[in-house]
Amino acid sequence: MPSENRLYIVGIGPGERGQMTRRAVEAISEAESVVGYRPYLELVSDLLGGKRVVSTGMGQEVERAKEAVGLLEEGSVALISSGDPNVYGMAGLGLEVASGRVDLRRVEVVPGITSFLAAACRVGITFTDSVAAISCSDLLTPWDRIEERARIASEMKMPMAIYNPRSRRRTWQLDRILEIATSGGDRDPEVLVAKNVARDGETLFWTRATEILEGEDIREEVDMFTLLILEGEGMVRGEGTAGEGERRRGAAGPEARSPPVGGHPAGVQIVGVGPGDPRHLTLEAEGLLRTSDLLLGAERHLSAVRLLAGGETISHEGAGGFDDRIAARVRAAEEAARLGKSASILFGGDPSTFSSAWRVRNSSKVRASPGVGAFLAAAARVGAPLVNDFALLSGRGKLDGEKAKRLLEGGYAVVLYNQDSRNLSSHAEEICKTDPDRPFALLQDATRPQERIFIGRGEDLARPAFEGRRSTLILAGPKADIREGRIIARRGYERKYDY
């Protein structure tokens, strides 16, 4: 096959066009063929003119991956995933099928907004310490492993994002997860029910775990298009969001939807600007940057997007300590809003994930525009390390290596955030002593011009030459391997398919 043909494994976001990235649009545009699950292709149908389109139904993931790799004989191909390809998406399978047939340097994983980030931004959630993502589907993962992971996260009092909670045939698994979360009656966490996030028919409301367990009417609303976020330690809810028992539907007015691409009314907006490369901005974020009268944020974020800025930019870098700078930005944004202007406060990555956005939300009622999280950008740069259940741990304070170790032993992939690379490599050395074959990746400034990447295993871990903060350590989950310099985690399709 011609060496210039490329395979793009593309995350198109949860559904709303504004939450798709510029790079995702470019990748689809550059492809001669597009392969995907039929409903996801419909979400990008206006981008498919003049292309060969191959659509398949539910449960045909292997066929899609094989078809995409086969079509490289005829030109570049985009293999579509909703959300992000590393979050229960096509990244692992696409790379696995391509391995041995295609030089993996010709495969690009394009990160996207995953639904738990979109939902968190919708209602004002910020995860400050940790969060675990778990799929209730036991089609590819044995149920006892899923249950054990839920138990570990619950015992650690971590917030949990629950994917694939219930289907027509799987009706009891969610109940079991909620029973674990309530710890035999000792806890009753609040639960965000987010259905059709960023799509037609969007419904968001807060309830409690026991109310779902006891209420058949609520359980009947939960399906495969629903995501649940269970409250845990370090999860902050900002002001002006849907309260317990309240419902916000897509047709209910502007508070339930993100602002349109290309502009927004006077007021304050939080904008996730992604990991650094402007191509990973969402279309919505681009529109906000171009049309805001005032942009506020750290200088490194402003400098990365300054060519897109339509209004004045202020960093407040000389306004004292970190808390002082945040407070100064909030005051400036609120003053602009009072004068009838629009102001956007920029945060790196995604506002809901280990950012200081909660400080803004606690001061002002604002909307938030999600961004590609640093963990998603890092995962895409190194391959497919997160396609199974995973946990994120913040670099805020002192990282707990034992916590990371227990999560790994439970079958999670683990991402350690925003620490000095020397601290992270020390954690990796200690954690990997019990699993010397564990693939890991250490990244600094992912997607930025100064990006540095180190991929290896526990048994041959060497201290990387680079030092400094803004580093992310990814410890891959079980059944992960390193092929051609990429980490590829197996999702479990071998349980279902012979390939």
The verdict on residue 495 lying in a domain is no
265 contacts 288 by C-beta, under 8 angstroms: no
The verdict on residue 382 lying in a domain is no
The verdict on residue 265 lying in a domain is yes
Q: Side chain identity at 364, as an amino acid letter? A: S
The verdict on residue 353 lying in a domain is yes
The verdict on residue 118 lying in a domain is no
What pLDDT, on the 0 to 100 scale, is given for residue 386? Answer: 95
CATH number, residue 88: 3.40.1010.10
Residues 94 and 176 grouped into a single domain? no
Residues 50 and 150 grouped into a single domain? no
Q: What is the DSSP letter of 211?
A: H
Residues 53 and 85 grouped into a single domain? yes
455 contacts 440 by C-beta, under 8 angstroms: yes
272 contacts 370 by C-beta, under 8 angstroms: yes
The pTM score is 0.92
Question: What b/e string do you get for 46-61 counting C-beta neighbours within 10 Å, with b at 16 or more?
Answer: ebbeebeebbbeeeeb
Residues 143 and 227 grouped into a single domain? yes
Residues 79 and 157 grouped into a single domain? no
Exposure of 201 by Cβ count < 10 A (0-12 exposed, 13-18 middle, 19+ buried)?
exposed
Residues 148 and 104 grouped into a single domain? no
What pLDDT, on the 0 to 100 scale, is given for residue 496? Answer: 53
Other CB atoms within 10 A of residue 324 CB: 12
What pLDDT, on the 0 to 100 scale, is given for residue 40? Answer: 94
What pLDDT, on the 0 to 100 scale, is given for residue 250? Answer: 41
The CA distance from 203 to 39, in Å, is: 19
Give the count of domains, the chain.
4
Residues 143 and 41 grouped into a single domain? no
Q: What is the DSSP letter of 469?
A: S
Residues 109 and 133 grouped into a single domain? no
The verdict on residue 20 lying in a domain is yes
Residues 15 and 109 grouped into a single domain? yes
Residues 89 and 139 grouped into a single domain? no
The CA distance from 118 to 135, in Å, is: 17
| Angle, CA 197 vertex, CA 135 and CA 255 arms, to 5° | 140
- Among residues 233, 262, 295, the one where a domain terminates is 233
- Among residues 113, 148, 182, the one where a domain terminates is 113
The verdict on residue 434 lying in a domain is yes
Q: What is the DSSP letter of 258?
A: P
The CA distance from 420 to 323, in Å, is: 21
Residues 26 and 55 grouped into a single domain? yes
Q: Under 8 Å CB-to-CB from 492, ≥6 apart: which residues?
A: 140, 141, 388, 479
% of the chain beyond a pLDDT of 90? 65
Residues 445 and 394 grouped into a single domain? yes
- pLDDT < 70: residue spans in the chain: 1-3, 184-185, 239-266, 362-364, 395-400, 418-419, 428, 460-466, 492-499
- Domain enclosing residue 48, as ranges: 7-113
- Say what angle helices 61-70 and 91-98 make with each other, to 10 degrees: 50
CATH number, residue 187: 3.30.950.10
Return the structure tokens found at 330: 């909030």
The CA distance from 218 to 195, in Å, is: 12
- Among residues 233, 263, 280, the one where a domain terminates is 233
The verdict on residue 67 lying in a domain is yes
Return the sign of the alpha-carbon dihedral for residues 51, 56, 57, 60. Answer: negative
What pLDDT, on the 0 to 100 scale, is given for residue 127? Answer: 95
Return the structure tokens found at 345: 């406060």
224 contacts 248 by C-beta, under 8 angstroms: no
* Residue recorded with tokens 């640093």: 374
- Say what angle helices 143-155 and 173-181 make with each other, to 10 degrees: 20
